Amino acid sequence: MNRNRIRSCIEDLGCTARLTDGASKLVVEFIVQGRSVVLYHPFPDELLRAPQFYLQKGHGFGKLAHVLTTEDSEFGEVCIADSLSTVVNTGRPELAYRDTVAKHVELLTRLIEDPAYNREEQLREFDAHWKILCSGSGSITNELFVAWEGNEVERLQVRLPRKTKSGSGLDIRPPSAVADTSVFHLRPKSPKRNKAVRRARRIDHNAVGMRLTHLDPAPATKREVVAWFFDIADRIDCDGRRELERLHRGKGRDYWVIFSAPIPDGEAMFAIHWRRRSKGGLPRSVDEAEAGQWDARPYRVRALSRASLIPRGGGSLDLSNKSVLLVGCGSVGGDLAMRLTSAGVGRLTVSDTDKLSEENLYRHILSMNHIGRQKAEALAHDIGRKHPWAKVESWNRSLECLREPAALKQFDLIVIAVGSPNVERAFAEFCLEESLSVPVINCWLEGYGIGGHAILVVPGTKGCWHCAYVDPETLTPSLLPNLHFLAPGQTVMRDQGGCGTQFLPYSGIAAGYTAAMSADLAVRFLQGHVTTSSKISWKGSDMEANRQRLSVTWRFRHFTESLQILPLHDENCDFCGA
Amino acid sequence: MGIQTHFNKFHDRIKLGRQDSAYKKARDRDDSIKGAVSSAFAAAGYPVVNDFIQGSFDTHTAIVPISGDYDIDRALVIDSAQAPANPVTPKKKTLEVLESRGFRNAKIKKPCVTADYASDNVHIDFIIYKRSPLNQLYLAVGKEHSDENNREWSPADPHGLTDWINDRSGYPTADAQAIQDQFRRLVRYLKRWRDEQFSPTVGARVYSIGLTVMVKQQLRHSFSMEGAPQDLQALRMTLDAIILFGGYFTPELAGRYRVRVPLPVLPWRDIFDGSSLDTGTQLYNKLDYLRRKLAEAEGLSDEREQCRILADLFGRDFEVPDPPKAGSKGRAVYPTAGIVSSSTGA
Ligand SMILES: [Zn+2]
Ligand SMILES: [Zn+2]
């Protein structure tokens, strides 16, 4: 990097720029409202992200958004954009510097000249500013996991972490704490250990979550937190006030007040932990707090909230009232179940009569410690731990035993992943005979990684189950789906030890593709984006099939619509009629 | 049921194979007369060294004639060393035999000797070739009284033509059979359409081989994603190509057309050589009408409506189905296999 070229390039912007400390730092200066703004930049060894500039404190412009200052530093870190979303021209560093400085000038000028904008931006990044206040000793941040939706005033319990050196998952290490309303499965697996953990953890009951309708920018220093707290406490409405009053009359040493508030484009959640050595009620004013020697410690809140975590994970909240029955918890079904709840499906019933065996291990989503357990039950258990707001129920029933309209009518969708053509056919015929109104997805894969398929039948729309079973040559009903990629009449199953030990060779990857694709179809249907009977396939490679001397179908050779949702209707279907 | 099912039924009705019984009788008649002609040739000093049936059986494009008259193109090959210099000589010998065996209307035409066998509705064309030591065939061309300028042993390649029609090397290997089958069906549809839509005189001049060559050259195959044939679309698209891009029809004065379709093999002559403007014009207009009506049928969703249009074009063998019975919903019947091995899992 030619630092002089960088310097002169920045001067072209109308700023003054100079190199200091043996040209290891760059100082840029420009004027806003007649006062000078000074930015520092220590040159990095390598330019891996946009150059970082620091604003010198004492500039007299007050607190500025996008300038993160800690109390012990004389510089504030300026953030112009998310480093993840900026690509730097490292081949022409002088241009990278010029553009970066230009952005700083633009941003800081606007923040200084437009106080309303500055305030809004401070609110927008409330969490970043609050986080700085929460820094404890060393690199540790005071954090609180909160399982609270942030809407209603709610009494919470705060479980303090064990004083051990490490924990896993939500067994959080100090100084983090957990506030929960017990929707969360925070208990460890064995009840024995659970007891030990309970004993080791102190549980504080003097905790309340309350909603603010309006928020001020975060205080600049920890010292200001007390006054800031009473400022916002004044604006709390009646329900919150009642709860606060309870804390004022409390007899504890620790009080936790957790707030949620709207900020531009989002929600903020943060907490303040009040504590002192002797027991007493939560102070009512700055004076009382000082007189009582109360310590108000800001805590960063990591919200375990349904409304924020489901969308954050790419799930959809409007699926939370949808109810899906998944029959078949094999490699495809197991993966599919997890993906459905991951997408936000709120109620899932999984059904299978099979137990997990060691043979399933390598392509099944379930882990070894479930071997011997009912697949459905184990799956419900695991999903509950992974997607805590999903209500998962398990049934120990096969598809043939589920031919019962009363049991099925409650579902918005039935997904069948049993890979058993005869039973699926019987079920499809049952649905037609009973005029069952619940839509059904059948999904399956073919051997040797050649592909997988799913069909969605929405009763009352064009296209029925039989549309997938029209022989393309004879145009008459066929026993095999016309979606297939391997030509009919070939032996695909592989034999391992004689009769009854046949298995279909396919990989966990093929199962995963099929599951993801089918889950996508299910989700699009549940969201109302797909409304008619449809089909979807993924096409893999025919390399392995070729090696096995298996021939492929016309559809395989000409298929270019992998993962596209296509109409299921086949004009040669006798059932759909003309 | 879709429209393809009706095309399939239609095709089953019109297709004619070598083994079909209706044709068998004609073949028996042909066999006996062939024997008689061969003996006469041998006695005359030019024995038959090879014989074959020329035409649409080897290309699987033969159709059941609506007139009930079965056509056989009987080729007889003699050795060039023994062949008379005058190509009309063996044709006259053939005519003699035919007349003596009770054939009606036997007569020598330019490329062949033709005759109807009265009682059996059999029409046989005898085509005489001589074969050179290099296996090159020469067709005996000339009428009974043609002078030297109008008769010749003309180089020909009947096997080459069959091979050309049956050639599928231009199609993707795995799909070649399906595409060639569709080609054959399209030719049969067009031949039946010709028999239905033209007067016998004009129809006789709309040569099957001419239609076959045009379809082969302009074929636009059509299949569903699953590989189910879509003959209606394929025929319409192929006709579009024949009319719009084929270059077979040259406009003449007053909205009239000349049709030219060169043979794709030796002797490369125009199949429609010497045909009238009237034939060209009628063929053009009727093909154009056909493709428009096919396009119309394609746009319809009602199957019976579609069939009605197609029956108007292809005749009564294209059946218009009865209206569907209300509420007829039952179990699917799987007409083919009892058990098939499956390749599915989950
Ligand atoms: Zn910022
Ligand atoms: Zn159907």
Tens-digit pLDDT profile for residues A98-151 = 999 999 999 999 999 999 999 999 999 999 889 989 887 667 778 888 888 888
Mean pLDDT of chain A: 88
Which residues 449-508 on chain A approach chain B with CB closer than 8 angstroms? 466, 469-484, 486, 488-493, 504, 506
Task: For residue B268, tell me if it sits in a domain.
Answer: yes
Domain end point (choices B136, B156, B176)? B156
Q: Which two tokens stand for residue A69?
A: 């200052």
B330 part of a folded domain: no
Which CATH number belongs to the domain containing residue B75 in this structure? 3.30.460.90
Regarding whether B224 and B114 lie in a shared domain, the answer is no
Shared-domain flag, residues B177 and B301: yes
- Ligand 2 mean position, distance from CA A459 (Å): 11
Specify if B56 maps to a domain: yes
Residues whose beta carbons lie less than 5 angstroms from ion ligand 1: A 66, 79, 125
Q: In terms of domains, do B241 and B302 share one?
A: yes
Q: pLDDT of A185-224, one tens digit each?
A: 444 344 444 554 555 556 777 889 999 988 999 998 888 9
Q: How confident is the model at residue A175 (pLDDT cuts 50, 70, 90)?
A: low
Based on the domain organization, do B172 and B139 belong to the same domain? no
For the stretch A252-291, pLDDT in tens is 999 999 999 999 988 899 999 999 989 999 999 999 999 9
Residues B198 and B233 in one domain: yes
pLDDT of residue A190: 42
Is there a contact between B324 and A577 if contact means CB atoms under 8 Å apart? yes
Cβ-proximal residues to A241 (8 Å cutoff; 6+ apart), any chain: none
Residue spans of chain B under pLDDT 70:
118-119, 325-336
**Interface with B, mutate which of A467, A555, A559 (most B CBs under 10 A):** A555
pLDDT at A21: 92
Bridge partners of residue A40, in order along the sequence: A27, A54
- Would you state the pLDDT for residue A191? 44
Domain boundary pick from B111, B135, B156: B156
Per CB-CB distance under 8 Å, the chain B contacts of A474 are 335-336
pLDDT at A194: 52
Residues B177 and B265 in one domain: yes
Asked if the Cβ–Cβ distance from A557 to B303 is below 8 Å, we say no
Q: Which of B175, B227, B346 sits opposite A472 (nearest CB)?
A: B227
Tell me: do B204 and B79 sit in the same domain. Answer: no
Instruction: Let me know: does A426 contact A508? Beta carbons within 8 Å.
Output: no
Judged by CB atoms closer than 8 Å, whether chains meet at B332 and A469 is answered as yes
B57 min Cα distance to partner chain A (Å): 23
Determine, yes or no, domain membership for B265.
yes
CATH 3.60.40.10 holds for A311-459+507-540+561-567? no
pLDDT at residue B342 in the model: 77
In this predicted model, what pLDDT tens digit does every residue of A316-366 receive, in sequence order? 999 999 999 999 999 999 999 999 999 999 999 999 999 999 988 888 999
CA distance A310 to chain B (A): 28
pTM of the model: 0.81
Least CB-CB distance to A421: which of B174, B224, B344?
Answer: B344
CA of B344 vs chain A CAs: smallest distance (Å):
5
Domain match, B96 and B216 both = no
Q: Give domain status of residue B5, yes or no.
A: no
Question: CA B79 to CA B47: how far, in whole Å?
Answer: 8
pLDDT for B218: 97
Burial B154-190 (b: 16+ CB within 10 A, else e): bebbbeebbebbeebeebeeebeebbbbbbbbbbbbb
> Can you give the pLDDT at residue A39?
95
* Partner-chain contact A475 B8, CB within 8 Å: yes
Residues of B within an 8 Å Cβ radius of A: 1-5, 8, 172, 174-175, 178, 223-228, 302-304, 324, 329, 331-337, 340-346
Q: Output DSSP code: residue A435.
A: T
Three-class SS state of A175: coil
Residue of B nearest to A330 (CA): B346
Q: Specify the pairing of strand A323-327 against strand A413-416.
A: parallel
Rounded to a whole number, what is the distance in Å from the CA of A401 to chain B's nearest CA? 19
CB contact under 8 A, B5 and A475: yes
> Which residue carries 């959809």 as its tokens?
A316
- Tell me the C-alpha distance between B127 and B115, whole Å: 12
Residues B129 and B188 in one domain: no
Nearest to A68 by CA among A60, A58, A79: A79
Domain that holds residue B133: 21-156
The residues spanned by each domain of chain A are 3-124, 130-304, 311-459+507-540+561-567
> Do B68 and B150 reside in the same domain of the chain?
yes
CA distance A327 to A415: 6
Coil, helix or strand for A85?
A: helix
Q: Do A476 and B3 touch (CB under 8 A)?
A: no
pLDDT average, residue stretch A369-383: 95
Any domain includes B109: yes
> How much is the pLDDT for B326?
59
Residues 370 through 429 of chain A touching chain B, CB cutoff 8 Å? 417-421, 429
pLDDT for the residue A82: 64
pLDDT at B264: 95
- Span from the CA of A122 to the centroid of ligand 1 (angstroms): 8
B170/B128 same-domain check = no
Q: Is residue B151 included in any domain, yes or no?
A: yes
pLDDT recorded at residue A161: 64
Number of domains in chain B: 2
Residues with CB under 5 A from ligand 2 (ion): A 464, 466-467, 573, 575-576
- Boundary of a domain, candidates B128, B156, B184: B156
Contact A396/A351 with Cβ under 8 angstroms?
yes
Kindly give the distance from the C-alpha atom of residue A405 to the centroid of ligand 2, in angstroms, as a whole number: 22
Shared-domain flag, residues B137 and B179: no
* pLDDT reported for residue A188: 39
